[in-house]
Amino acid sequence: MSSVNTAHSVVEPSRTSKRIAATIVIAYAVITMIPLVWIVLTSFKSPPDSISYPPKIVFQPTLEGYCNLFTTRTRQTSEYITSLGAPTSTCDEITRSRNMVIAGPSNYWPRFQNSLVIAFGSTFLAVSLGTLAAYGFSRFKVPLAEDLLFFILSTRMMPPIAVAIPIYLMYRELGLSDTALGMILLYTAVNVSLAVWLLKGFIDEIPREYEEAAMIDGYTRMQAFFKVVLPQATTGIAATAIFCLIFAWNEYAFAVLLTSGAAQTAPPFIPTIIGEGGQDWPAVAAGTTIFVVPILVFTILLRKQLLRGITFGAVRK
Amino acid sequence: MAEIRIENLRKEFGAFSAVEDSSFVVRDGEFLALLGPSGCGKTTTLRMIAGLELPTSGKIFLGGEDVTFNRARERDIAFVFQLFALYPHMNVRKNIGFPLLAQGVAKSEIRSRVEETARLLQIDHILDRSVSGLAGGDRQRVALGRAIVRRPKCFLMDEPLGTLDAEFRDLMVRELRELHNRIRATTVYVTHDQLEAMAMADKIAVMNHGIIEQFGTPQEIYNRPATMYVADFIGSPPMNFLRFTSGLQKGRRSVSVDGVDISVPEIQQDLEEGELALGVRPEDIRFSDASSLRGAVYGSEYHGTNQIVAVEMAKGLVKARVPADHSFRIGETVGLELNYDKLALFDCKSGRVVVSSRYAEHHYG
């Protein structure tokens, strides 16, 4: 009996241990999901429901949070509201039921667009630069390569916010404050070190013979890089891109400090919703829910690569 | 097709000297094997011919043109890597057609040439398969296909059979040689396996510590090794060395090993007193009671067609290849008779052969 178990423990876990493992994993997943579920539920609650105690699990769902998120409203007398024509949209209807009319669109959508441009832009730059740099470090004799790599890594050794004041002053001088370009450059600078280190590992694993074969087959090194190395580094590039994107997407501290208007991203904008018309938790929750979507989609699209990227190095050939 | 000429090629990696002053010529259509243990500089030599490494000094000529500093893609050569280096994101057809794509060959012509190559290698049925699912031998053929589809000036192969299992290797050795006979492309083939080299090559260069110890046909290498290293590296079991101390004079026809006079081919070189070794291949030893060179049987290995008998002599073991039907008792005293025609004398200090009448018509330097 015991010998059978030992043999199985190496090749295939027993049914019981599989169940225990599954239970733990599912429990962990559920616990981590709770805040997310709470946010999504709250986004569909009416403001009174959202602050009721004990929290309501069953409630009348409403799009009020989303309407409030995307619009600015003004309070009007009921006479004025009845004098208006029939409501033109669901949001109109909801707003009027609260004795308000829609005054115009809110800043959420432009802020969300800023987030998209800045996060994807900086990710693209960081990964492109990182791939080229990692390839260089991996394949060529770079003078002082070890020191350079350490220097690149050392930029991540302090909390980025430690350099916030100098960067703030620099950006003001350069006119990069509150510009999308400034934020892209900043996030690229932070992410490129991560990208170089992650990608160097991936590219080190790609045998040189592939490029050498391509170069003998008549291609230049650049062509060999694009035609042979890059297609094989997609796993690493995808994993790196997700890490970079998550950082740039979620970044709050620099965004608060360096953006206030035109280039403001969603993270610093969402808390400001609270101040506008009372504590509008459903609108905040709606803003957060929508904010999660792009990362979710990106991660799902690349999940195969991400999984391989994370377990990378665990299994050597 | 072209001749490859290497002149005084050297390669240093920092303080380590990987290839030292190598010169040789591979004639048009010839198959050269660079043979040696790992780390002997054979792969480095090949990579310099390919343009993947730059030599520290020396020159490389392909078809008479100095290509020493040309890039790999400008040399018109094909290289087969040890691990094949098939592009995993392309199928077989694309892999084979990849070099033609670089040359800007028209699509329809790529198609027909890839198919022609595939037929030659008998892989036309797997053209649309992914390379990652292929068996070792098929991968090997695809790698060869990618090399020959371009009709390059020469082929360079870096231990292409190294990862195949033994049975398949024999088959591929035959296929490679047949392929060479058919297309007659100048080929440089790197291997550490003497049997592969012997079976395929027109010429063999035996390398050790970055030095070409001997360059010649397989027969020359086997029958007239120029150094003790070559004599020891080639042959299984390797050549026996009977060590003794003596001086040599031109015209001598015998040497005295442990007090036994043994006739040797006429010595054509004077040599001061020093340690010498009489080299004899296991198959050039016969057992004979009449011989006064005696030893005790130490053990035997049965090989079916023959057996290898180890005999303990005053200065170590001597292995003899004798017919399988003899039987020996361990410890039995036997007399050894050496085939006079096949003996070679080596100077142990320099490791080089002593010139005798057997070696006179050849140049070893």
For A295-312, how does the pLDDT look when each residue is reduced to its tens digit (9 = 90+)? Answer: 989 888 888 777 765 555
Chain A residues whose CB is inside 8 A of the B85 CB are 207, 209-210, 212-213
Search chain B and give the residue with CA nearest A207: B85
**Mean pLDDT over all residues of chain B?**
89
Determine, for residues A209 and B83 on separate chains, whether the beta-carbon distance falls below 8 Å: yes
**pLDDT value, residue A8:** 47
Determine, for residues A218 and B81 on separate chains, whether the beta-carbon distance falls below 8 Å: no
Average pLDDT over residues A202-226: 91
Q: Is the pLDDT of residue B119 over 80?
A: yes
DSSP label of B230: H
C-alpha closest to that of B9 among B20, B17, B1, A308: B20
Chain A residues whose CB is inside 8 A of the B87 CB are 210, 213-214, 228, 231
Longest Cα pair distance anywhere in chain A, in angstroms? Answer: 85
The CA distance from B315 to B258, in Å, is 9
DSSP label of B91: B
The CA distance from A260 to A127, in Å, is 27
Search chain A and give the residue with CA nearest B75: A216
Q: Is the pLDDT of residue A6 over 50?
A: no
Min Cα separation B75/chain A (Å):
8
Helix, strand, or coil (residue B109): helix
pLDDT digits (tens, 9 = 90+) for A162-207: 888 899 999 999 999 999 999 999 999 999 999 999 999 889 988 8
Lowest mean pLDDT among A10-19, B104-113, B231-240, B282-291: A10-19
**pLDDT value, residue B153:** 87
Share of chain B above pLDDT 70, in %: 98
Which tokens hold the place of B154? 């020469």
CB distance B340 to B263 below 8 Å: yes
Chain A residues whose CB is inside 8 A of the B146 CB are 213, 217
Question: Which residue bears the tokens 């989609």?
Answer: A297
**pLDDT value, residue B361:** 60
**pLDDT value, residue A312:** 52
Under the banding of pLDDT at 50, 70 and 90, the label for residue A2 is very low
**pLDDT value, residue B347:** 93
Across the interface, of B77, B82, B89, the residue whose CB is closest to A216 is: B77
Whether a cis peptide bond, with omega within 30° of 0, leads into A54 is yes
Average pLDDT over residues A131-156: 90
Average pLDDT over residues A272-279: 73
- Judged by a CB distance cut-off of 8 A, whether residue B83 touches chain A is yes
**pLDDT value, residue B1:** 63
The CA-based angle A26-A313-B84, given to 5 degrees, is 130
The CA distance from A156 to A190, in Å, is 7
Q: Is the pLDDT of residue A11 over 70?
A: no
User: Considering only CB atoms, which residues of chain A are within 8 Å of chain B?
Assistant: 207, 209-210, 212-220, 223, 228, 231-232
Determine, for residues A212 and B52 on separate chains, whether the beta-carbon distance falls below 8 Å: yes
Cα torsion angle, A112, A113, A114, A119, sign: positive
Determine, for residues A212 and B89 on separate chains, whether the beta-carbon distance falls below 8 Å: no
**pLDDT value, residue B203:** 95
Search chain A and give the residue with CA nearest B78: A216
Which tokens hold the place of B254? 């015998």
C-alpha closest to that of B57 among B95, B22, B82: B22
Determine, for residues B81 and A213 on separate chains, whether the beta-carbon distance falls below 8 Å: yes
Burial degree of A173 (CB within 10 A; 0-12, 13-18, 19+): exposed
Helix A145-154 to helix A108-139 angle (10° resolution) is 160
Across the interface, of A209, A210, A218, the residue whose CB is closest to B73 is: A218
Chain A residues whose CB is inside 8 A of the B99 CB are 217-218
Lowest mean pLDDT among A5-9, B62-66, B172-176: A5-9
- Judged by a CB distance cut-off of 8 A, whether residue B81 touches chain A is yes
**Mean pLDDT over all residues of chain A?**
86
Quickly list H helices, B213-313.
218-223, 228-233
- Judged by a CB distance cut-off of 8 A, whether residue B365 touches chain A is no
Quickly list H helices, chain B.
42-50, 92-102, 107-120, 136-148, 166-183, 194-200, 218-223, 228-233
**pLDDT value, residue B363:** 52
Determine, for residues B72 and A212 on separate chains, whether the beta-carbon distance falls below 8 Å: yes
Chain B residues whose CB is inside 8 A of the A228 CB are 87
Under the banding of pLDDT at 50, 70 and 90, the label for residue B183 is confident
The CA distance from B331 to A112, in Å, is 93
The CA distance from B308 to B292, in Å, is 21
**pLDDT value, residue A277:** 60
Average pLDDT over residues A104-133: 94
| Contacts (Cβ under 8 Å, ≥6 apart) of B237 | B282, B308, B319, B321
Whether a cis peptide bond, with omega within 30° of 0, leads into A282 is no
Min Cα separation B170/chain A (Å):
25
Q: Do the first three CATH levels of B4-223 and B228-347 match, i.e. the same topology?
A: no
- Judged by a CB distance cut-off of 8 A, whether residue B103 touches chain A is yes
Print the SS3 string covering chain A: CHHHHHHHHHHCCCHHHHHHHHHHHHHHHHHHHHHHHHHHHHHCCCHHHHHCCCCCCCCCCCCHHHHHHHEEEEECCHHHHHHCCCCCCHHHHHHHHCCEEEEEECCHHHHHHHHHHHHHHHHHHHHHHHHHHHHHHHHCCCCCHHHHHHHHHHCCCCCHHHHHHHHHHHHHHHCCCCCHHHHHHHHHHHHHHHHHHHHHHHHHHCCCHHHHHHHHCCCCHHHHHHHHHHHHCHHHHHHHHHHHHHHHHHCCHHHHHHCCCCCCCHHHHHHHHHHHCCCCHHHHHHHHHHHHHHHHHHHHHCHHHHHHHHCCCCCCC
Under the banding of pLDDT at 50, 70 and 90, the label for residue A4 is very low
C-alpha closest to that of B250 among B360, B96, B97: B360
Domain boundaries, chain A: 2-43, 47-106, 109-265+294-310
Min Cα separation A212/chain B (Å):
7
pLDDT digits (tens, 9 = 90+) for B190-217: 999 998 999 999 999 999 999 999 999 9
Determine, for residues A215 and B85 on separate chains, whether the beta-carbon distance falls below 8 Å: no
Average pLDDT over residues B79-99: 90
**pLDDT value, residue A239:** 87
Superfamily of the domain at B228-347: Nucleic acid-binding proteins (2.40.50.140)
**pLDDT value, residue A3:** 43
Lowest mean pLDDT among B14-18, B343-347, B357-361: B357-361
22-51 in B: which are within 8 Å (CB) of A? 50-51
Min Cα separation A142/chain B (Å):
15
The CA distance from B146 to B125, in Å, is 16
CB distance B309 to B319 below 8 Å: yes
For strand B254-257 and strand B203-208, is the pairing parallel, antiparallel, or unpaired? unpaired
For B327, phi then psi, to 5°, come to -125, 145
Q: Is the pLDDT of residue B360 over 90?
A: no
Min Cα separation B145/chain A (Å):
12
- Judged by a CB distance cut-off of 8 A, whether residue B62 touches chain A is no
CB neighbourhood size of B9 (10 A): 24
Determine, for residues A210 and B78 on separate chains, whether the beta-carbon distance falls below 8 Å: no
pLDDT digits (tens, 9 = 90+) for A70-94: 988 888 888 888 888 888 888 888 8
pLDDT digits (tens, 9 = 90+) for A277-292: 677 889 999 999 999 9
**pLDDT value, residue A7:** 45
Q: Tell me which of B358 and B350 has the higher pLDDT.
A: B350
pLDDT digits (tens, 9 = 90+) for B309-352: 999 988 889 999 998 888 888 998 999 999 888 899 999 999 99
Q: Is the domain B4-223 a CATH 3.40.50.720 member?
A: no
Search chain B and give the residue with CA nearest A215: B73
Determine, for residues B88 and A223 on separate chains, whether the beta-carbon distance falls below 8 Å: no
**For residue B45, what are the CA distances in angstroms to B162, B215, B227, B234, B332?**
18, 14, 21, 21, 49
Across the interface, of A210, A219, A231, the residue whose CB is closest to B85 is: A210
Cα torsion angle, A60, A61, A65, A68, sign: negative
Domain boundaries, chain B: 4-223, 228-347
Chain B residues whose CB is inside 8 A of the A220 CB are 73
For strand B294-302 and strand B306-313, is the pairing parallel, antiparallel, or unpaired? antiparallel
Determine, for residues A217 and B71 on separate chains, whether the beta-carbon distance falls below 8 Å: no
Q: Tell me which of A205 and A161 has the higher pLDDT.
A: A205
The CA distance from B164 to B196, in Å, is 13
Question: Which residue bears the tokens 């170590």?
Answer: B316
CB distance A210 to A223 below 8 Å: no
Chain A residues whose CB is inside 8 A of the B78 CB are 216-217
139-158 in B: which are within 8 Å (CB) of A? 146, 150
Looking at this protein, which amino acid is placed at residue B297?
V
**pLDDT value, residue B365:** 42
ipTM > 0.90, yes or no: no
Helix A108-139 to helix A281-301 angle (10° resolution) is 30
Share of chain B above pLDDT 90, in %: 53
Q: Is the pLDDT of residue B105 over 80?
A: yes
Longest Cα pair distance anywhere in chain B, in angstroms? Answer: 77
Burial degree of A32 (CB within 10 A; 0-12, 13-18, 19+): exposed
- B102-105 contacts, C-beta under 8 A, 24 or more apart: B102/A217, B102/A218, B102/A219, B102/A223, B102/B73, B103/A218, B103/B150
Determine, for residues A217 and B98 on separate chains, whether the beta-carbon distance falls below 8 Å: yes
Min Cα separation A199/chain B (Å):
19
Q: Is the pLDDT of residue B168 over 90?
A: no
Fold exhibited by the domain A109-265+294-310: MetI-like fold (1.10.3720)
Residue pairs between chains A and B whose CB atoms are closer than 8 Å: 55
Chain B residues whose CB is inside 8 A of the A217 CB are 73, 78, 98-99, 102, 146, 150
